[in-house]
Amino acid sequence: MPDFDPLDAVLFDLDGVLTPTAEVHMHAWARLFTDYLAGAGAAPYQESDYFTYIDGKPRYEGVRSMLASRGITLPEGTPDDPPEAETVCGLGNRKNGVFMDVLASDGVAPYPGSVAFLDALAARGDVQVAVVSSSKNARSVLTAAGLIDRFAVIVDGEVAAARGIPGKPNPDTYLDAAAQLGVPAARAVVVEDATSGVAAGRAGDFGLVLGVDRGAGAEDLIAHGADTVVSDLDELVPALTGATDAGAESDAGTGDGAAR
């Protein structure tokens, strides 16, 4: 069980950590690339492609990475490209249209275990929180999930693009959030469900990198830099409340550098 006492801030990824919107993103990407790759005569899209080439990355970087995996090169285009444009930005905007349609029609509820973890952090009163997401839709998702008021600092894809901050797996967005909170990286926790996200946490030399396994796989998360991996954040509530029994063992998977 990791020790949160020497840590002053928790920096959360959004999709797949606080909300199950990662599933909506997965379906939107699958719809986009299943049709696109078939039309291009390329190898068909598989679910594993999402975790290997797309998960956790900024939208257009995900498009580039996925196309490169099939040896396809498209013009970059611009973020203003229409969804039907045969450009990297056009494909990214096409995917985003599907995502926003689903969000508007179905809404989104946060993971109960993540809400319990947030509540436990709030009860402590000595830990600041922020959201660090590659998504440009982070504020819309947080609003739909009823979580927007919990976070004074949100560094998302819109902020990163406007300020020229490199996205994950670079650590810069997480470092920016920690700086806004006035907390050094060594005293902050990164919480991620994507291999690119835990790699960002490790590259930024954060005090603790927590992986939440929503499908990426505990071994891969640890291999990319997670100290500890859980299947849901409610497993870590006892570490915040002091409810663990002395000497009790956690079911969380740990890497060699766990709970530094």
User: Residue 154: helix, strand or coil by DSSP?
Assistant: strand
Gap between the Cα atoms of 245 and 249, Å rounded: 9
Catalytic, 15? Answer yes
Set 13, 49, 172, 227: catalytic member: 13
Pull the structure tokens for residue 129. 């929180």
DSSP string, 186-203: GGEEEEESSHHHHHHHHH
Backbone angles phi, psi at 191, to 5 degrees: -120, 120
Set 3, 5, 8, 15: catalytic member: 15
Q: Are 73 and 84 in contact (CB under 8 A)?
A: no
Residues 6+ apart with CB under 8 A from 105: none
Q: Are 154 and 128 in contact (CB under 8 A)?
A: no
Pull the structure tokens for residue 87. 């450009």
Instruction: Say which amino acid occupies 110.
Output: P
Gap between the Cα atoms of 214 and 92, Å rounded: 23
Gap between the Cα atoms of 190 and 209, Å rounded: 5
Active site residues: 13, 15
